[in-house]
Amino acid sequence: MKHKDRRHGIPNPYEVKMTLRLILGALAIGLILVTAVNKCQADEWLAQDKAMHFGSGFLAAKVLFTTADESNEPKKNRVLAAVFIMSAAFGKEFYDAHKDNGRGKFSWKDIAAGGAGLAVATFPLPAWVSGGDSHGR
């Protein structure tokens, strides 16, 4: 089955629909988790755990994006990788909110830090860092 008309670069409508469904599904799951958690407490933007969330999002994205780029459908697999990473971030915060007999806290700032790491990972590394070309491969 041909997923894309390689001559014209036109994506298969089925592929586009599936990608949109995955994104909407991840957003819906996130919304459900957030509304289920009512213990959103303030926390510091410049805390050590924010750096850990940023680093985790960045590292996971770089690893999964590199794997996706080597596949037959890199764009689709990059979207799947991003959905997986953000789902894991929401899952971690949902867990945090319910630990310690329900006295934990859900942190939007942790989600933002992980998302920022993911976003930064979408940019190619400079050649002097990656040891290769400037395309991040």
pLDDT in tens, the chain (137 residues): 444 445 556 667 777 676 667 666 666 666 655 555 544 445 777 778 888 888 898 889 888 888 888 888 888 888 888 999 999 999 998 888 888 777 778 888 899 889 988 888 887 766 665 565 545 44
Q: Pick from 50, 24, 33: which is nearest to 109 by CA?
A: 50
